Chains A and B, each alone.
Chain A
Amino acid sequence: MPSTERLVLVVDDDADIREALREALEQDGYAVAEARDGSAALGYLRAHPAPPLILLDWNMAPMNGARFLEELARDPQLAAIPVVLLTADSRVDAKARPGLAGHLIKPVELEVLFEVVAKFCS
């Protein structure tokens, strides 16, 4: 199994966003795993070593970001994984979610994104 030190799990229902994130992160030497919703992400996490960071979209189906966070907190194996929110929905109140390690708004500048990613993937 490859090293997970520079691995980011991207959870987003939009294929275009997933692809763009993958291209950008891989170009800077990160590895990317993708999930199209919360339950797919949980499935990945239970089958693979924990990544140092999860980039989470909010509005997804069937399992959205909020429910994914609840499931994550309930699982002692996964609860400690840092999650950074990456959403275009300006109505999400990140402060009401103390479990979040960060909150980015789409469209996000890559420099900002890489700063956050670098903080967790040393």
Chain B
Amino acid sequence: MQQSRARHLLSYAVKVSGLLAAYLITARLGLRLDAVSGFATLVWAPTGIALFALLTSGYRLWPGVFAGALIANLLTGAPVPVALGIASGNTAEALLAVWLLRRAGFDRELSRVHDVAVFSVLAAAACTLVSATTGATSLWAGGVVSTTAFAPTWKAWWLGDALGALTVAPLLLVWSRRVAALKMAHVAEALLLAACLLGLTWGVFSGAVPNVLESPFGWPYFVFPGLFWAALRFTQRGAVTATFAVAVVTIAATATGHGPFARPVLSESLILVQVFMAVSSVTALMLAAAVSERDRARSTAEESQQQFQTLADSIPHLAWVADAGGSIRWFNRRWYDYTGATPRALEREEASGWLRGNAGFQAALAAGEPWEQTLPLRRSDGVPRRHLSRAVPVRDADGRVVKWFGTHTDVEEQQEFEEKLSEALRVREDFLAVAGHELKTPLAALLMHLESLGRARKAGSLPENLDQRLEKARGSALRLGRLIDQLLDVSRIAAGRLELERERFELDVLLVEVVERFAVQAERAGCTLSLVKSASSCGLWDRARIDQVLSNLLSNAIKYGAGKPIDVELWEEGGEAIVRVTDRGIGIEADQQQRIFGRFERAVSAREFGGFGLGLWISRQVAEASGGRIEVQSAPGEGSTFTLRLPLGAAEAPHAVH
């Protein structure tokens, strides 16, 4: 802690001493150049040094300025009170300038026109008035200058300080920054520039170039091409260095009585040089700042263009940009890859055809409002796919639409998925309604039987047909159970868990059983059931499942063929056992003949016939899992024939059904 404090103090002392020394030396050098009244020199680098020191290291270095100015003036022979007054003015000048620059948002790199402007006006032109006024007044009050010498003293003081600020401070500020090394080509150019500039300036100011055309003011403006070259090509560094170099050469030439600004009295010559240098310096700094601003704007634009290009080519969307009139001027790479179009389509204007013909976009174009629509777009393989197309207007500063930025997103799969999902939900909803109805029907019959018997018991008279009625109630309960089994089958098959318990049995025996079981139901429906079999057909199948299939076929035949004869046949052919069930009922429309095997489907509306409409779907799943198949032939109004084919030989390995 103590140590760091000591180091801090030491560092501060070194800085203040350095500033004091630099101030003192440059002050002494300047005062040797024919100072007006002995104190007001026209070459006053200390102003620039003080500005630089306080700008970079802070206000706290002010004692360096004060002491430097005090000692320099004491050494020049000023009485102590006068020297104190001058030192105060010089210190106030630097402090005020730094304070004002900081408030004005000044940046030390001088790479903005704003920085050059505030520096020139506040630091160089305005604050130097403080020092000039205080200094001249102190000299006058101390009797060092007469009243008549006050004005020239004040003028020289002000100009000297202003030029010191303009040439020295920027030089130090710019070169004190860490800078990138120049490339070889740049170094060569810099050397060439230095040679030309110095040669030209020396030529013009030393009188080496004779004033043959007798220009009344010589050729000082010859230095401008060199200063502009420096500012344009080397910006701040070029401008400050060239300005400083020209200043040194012109002051030196003029001080030795040469060049267009040479006058009999040196101080008068120097005033002319200083005004010229001040204008040159501000001009070069302004130009350099403008060049920097332009370069920054250009690289920002390039960067944002680069970013846009990278973004546009890497997004999964197709993107395009249209002009204010709705003609497409650009597509991203994805667009070309997707559509198979080439950039030449853009030139032929055909690329905008789809947009021009779109009423929705044309309306958005007229209103200047964002547009969104789902459109088909032909993929490179010729398949049209739905896209969500969007466009937003891009406006300039005045709010005018200058272009449109658009994207296409392939939503084909998403839309297909949504359609399938809503269809599946609709089918499921229908199925649940049907299932509810179907389950409630036997439940209603069962409850009526039970309640009715209950009422009879309460009345004290059990009906004579009690057994028969209990049997009917049981029948309804069994029917309910079968429906539940069917629902479970559906979920089992849908989950791929239909497993067959294969055993060898004779199909004809099973068929006789099933037909006999349906005899009563057929009779009630007014159907005569006939069975013709020409083989016993022994195979390795799941007996219960085949029973289920045969029952389903017979139950359908009775349901849809009521009042008409039904034929059941069994024979063998080509290694297969074939069962055919033929009714003469309402039949099935051709376009419905495949649908009836679908899940939750049936040819007639679910509301007209009982059952889930799952029977044929389950039957087909069972037939296929058994290595066989089930088919239908039908004509509306004439009846239907369902054919079940089962393999007789070594059955295929059982496989799961989905």
Using CB atoms and an 8 Å cutoff, list the residues of chain A in contact with chain B. Answer: 13-17, 19-21, 23-24, 27-28, 58-62, 64, 88-91, 106-110
CA distance A110 to B604 in the complex (A): 32
CA distance A40 to B334 in the complex (A): 68
CB under 8 Å from chain A, chain B span 591-605: 604
Picked from A60, A90, A108, A110, the residue with its CB within 8 Å of the CB of B455 is: A110
Q: In the bound complex, do residue B452 and residue A27 qualify as a contact, i.e. CB atoms below 8 Å apart?
A: yes
Picked from B445, B463, B472, the residue with its CB within 8 Å of the CB of A14 is: B445
- What distance in Å separates the Cβ of A91 from its nearest Cβ neighbour in chain B? 6
In the bound complex, residues from chain A placing their C-beta under 8 Å from that of B15 are none
CB under 8 Å from chain A, chain B span 430-485: 433, 436-437, 440-449, 451-452, 455-456, 463, 469, 472, 475-476, 479
The residue in A21, A89, A90 that gathers the most chain B C-beta atoms within 10 A of its C-beta is A89
10 A-B pairs within 8 Å (CB atoms) are namely: A14-B441, A16-B442, A16-B475, A19-B472, A23-B448, A23-B463, A62-B608, A88-B441, A107-B443, A109-B447
- What distance in Å separates the Cβ of B572 from its nearest Cβ neighbour in chain A? 37
Q: In the bound complex, do residue B433 and residue A106 qualify as a contact, i.e. CB atoms below 8 Å apart?
A: no
CA distance A90 to B446 in the complex (A): 19
CA distance A106 to B447 in the complex (A): 10
Q: In the bound complex, do residue B608 and residue A88 qualify as a contact, i.e. CB atoms below 8 Å apart?
A: no
Q: In the bound complex, do residue A20 and residue B452 qualify as a contact, i.e. CB atoms below 8 Å apart?
A: yes
Q: A27-B456, A89-B607, A109-B447 are in contact. List 15 more A-B contacts (CB 8 A).
A: A14-B441, A15-B524, A20-B448, A23-B463, A23-B472, A27-B452, A27-B455, A59-B608, A61-B608, A64-B608, A88-B440, A88-B444, A107-B443, A107-B448, A108-B448
In the bound complex, residues from chain B placing their C-beta under 8 Å from that of A109 are 447, 451
- What distance in Å separates the Cβ of A53 from its nearest Cβ neighbour in chain B? 17
The residue in B449, B472, B479, B607 that gathers the most chain A C-beta atoms within 10 A of its C-beta is B607
Cβ contacts B580-617/A at 8 Å (1 or 0 each): 00000000000000000000000010111110000000
A105 closest partner in B (C-beta): B440
Q: In the bound complex, do residue B433 and residue A110 qualify as a contact, i.e. CB atoms below 8 Å apart?
A: no
Q: In the bound complex, do residue A58 and residue B607 qualify as a contact, i.e. CB atoms below 8 Å apart?
A: yes
Q: In the bound complex, do residue B476 and residue A16 qualify as a contact, i.e. CB atoms below 8 Å apart?
A: yes
- What distance in Å separates the Cβ of A37 from its nearest Cβ neighbour in chain B? 9
In the bound complex, residues from chain B placing their C-beta under 8 Å from that of A24 are 448-449, 451-452, 455
CB under 8 Å from chain A, chain B span 631-658: none
A18 closest partner in B (C-beta): B445
- What distance in Å separates the Cβ of B563 from its nearest Cβ neighbour in chain A? 11
A92 closest partner in B (C-beta): B607
Cβ contacts B105-125/A at 8 Å (1 or 0 each): 000000000000000000000
- What distance in Å separates the Cβ of A40 from its nearest Cβ neighbour in chain B? 11
The residue in A20, A28, A109, A110 that gathers the most chain B C-beta atoms within 10 A of its C-beta is A20
Q: In the bound complex, do residue A91 and residue B441 qualify as a contact, i.e. CB atoms below 8 Å apart?
A: no
Q: In the bound complex, do residue A20 and residue B437 qualify as a contact, i.e. CB atoms below 8 Å apart?
A: no
CA distance A86 to B442 in the complex (A): 14
Q: In the bound complex, do residue A20 and residue B524 qualify as a contact, i.e. CB atoms below 8 Å apart?
A: no
CA distance A118 to B442 in the complex (A): 25
Q: In the bound complex, do residue B452 and residue A64 qualify as a contact, i.e. CB atoms below 8 Å apart?
A: no
Picked from B441, B479, B606, the residue with its CB within 8 Å of the CB of A106 is: B441
Q: In the bound complex, do residue A107 and residue B444 qualify as a contact, i.e. CB atoms below 8 Å apart?
A: yes
In the bound complex, residues from chain A placing their C-beta under 8 Å from that of B472 are 16, 19-20, 23
Q: In the bound complex, do residue A107 and residue B440 qualify as a contact, i.e. CB atoms below 8 Å apart?
A: yes
- What distance in Å separates the Cβ of A16 from its nearest Cβ neighbour in chain B? 4
CA distance A17 to B473 in the complex (A): 11
Picked from B451, B606, B610, the residue with its CB within 8 Å of the CB of A110 is: B451
- What distance in Å separates the Cβ of B13 from its nearest Cβ neighbour in chain A? 99
- What distance in Å separates the Cβ of B586 from its nearest Cβ neighbour in chain A? 8
- What distance in Å separates the Cβ of A24 from its nearest Cβ neighbour in chain B? 4
- What distance in Å separates the Cβ of A95 from its nearest Cβ neighbour in chain B? 19
In the bound complex, residues from chain B placing their C-beta under 8 Å from that of A110 are 448, 451-452, 455
In the bound complex, residues from chain A placing their C-beta under 8 Å from that of B608 are 59-62, 64
Q: In the bound complex, do residue A20 and residue B444 qualify as a contact, i.e. CB atoms below 8 Å apart?
A: yes
CA distance A62 to B607 in the complex (A): 11
A-B residue pairs, 6 tightest by C-beta = A61-B608, A88-B440, A106-B444, A24-B452, A107-B444, A20-B448
In the bound complex, residues from chain A placing their C-beta under 8 Å from that of B606 are 59
CA distance A89 to B463 in the complex (A): 31
In the bound complex, residues from chain B placing their C-beta under 8 Å from that of A60 are 608
In the bound complex, residues from chain A placing their C-beta under 8 Å from that of B475 are 16
Q: In the bound complex, do residue A61 and residue B451 qualify as a contact, i.e. CB atoms below 8 Å apart?
A: no
In the bound complex, residues from chain A placing their C-beta under 8 Å from that of B447 are 107, 109
In the bound complex, residues from chain B placing their C-beta under 8 Å from that of A64 are 607-608
The residue in B442, B448, B479 that gathers the most chain A C-beta atoms within 10 A of its C-beta is B448
In the bound complex, residues from chain B placing their C-beta under 8 Å from that of A89 are 433, 437, 607
Q: In the bound complex, do residue A59 and residue B449 qualify as a contact, i.e. CB atoms below 8 Å apart?
A: no
CA distance A61 to B562 in the complex (A): 11
CA distance A17 to B610 in the complex (A): 12
In the bound complex, residues from chain A placing their C-beta under 8 Å from that of B607 are 58-59, 64, 89
Q: In the bound complex, do residue A13 and residue B610 qualify as a contact, i.e. CB atoms below 8 Å apart?
A: yes
CA distance A16 to B452 in the complex (A): 14
- Once A20-B449, A27-B452, A27-B455 are accepted as A-B contacts, the answer to whether A61 and B440 lie under 8 Å apart by CB is no
CA distance A24 to B604 in the complex (A): 32
A59 closest partner in B (C-beta): B607
- What distance in Å separates the Cβ of A85 from its nearest Cβ neighbour in chain B? 14
The residue in A16, A21, A59, A109 that gathers the most chain B C-beta atoms within 10 A of its C-beta is A16
B606 closest partner in A (C-beta): A59
CB under 8 Å from chain A, chain B span 335-388: none
A65 closest partner in B (C-beta): B607
- What distance in Å separates the Cβ of B304 from its nearest Cβ neighbour in chain A? 61
Q: In the bound complex, do residue A19 and residue B445 qualify as a contact, i.e. CB atoms below 8 Å apart?
A: yes
CA distance A97 to B554 in the complex (A): 37
Q: In the bound complex, do residue A23 and residue B479 qualify as a contact, i.e. CB atoms below 8 Å apart?
A: no
- What distance in Å separates the Cβ of B479 from its nearest Cβ neighbour in chain A? 7
Cβ contacts B243-269/A at 8 Å (1 or 0 each): 000000000000000000000000000
Q: In the bound complex, do residue A59 and residue B452 qualify as a contact, i.e. CB atoms below 8 Å apart?
A: no
- Once A61-B608, A107-B447 are accepted as A-B contacts, the answer to whether A23 and B440 lie under 8 Å apart by CB is no
In the bound complex, residues from chain A placing their C-beta under 8 Å from that of B524 are 15
CA distance A20 to B469 in the complex (A): 9
In the bound complex, residues from chain A placing their C-beta under 8 Å from that of B440 are 88, 106-107
The residue in A19, A61, A62 that gathers the most chain B C-beta atoms within 10 A of its C-beta is A61
In the bound complex, residues from chain A placing their C-beta under 8 Å from that of B437 are 59, 88-90
CA distance A28 to B608 in the complex (A): 31
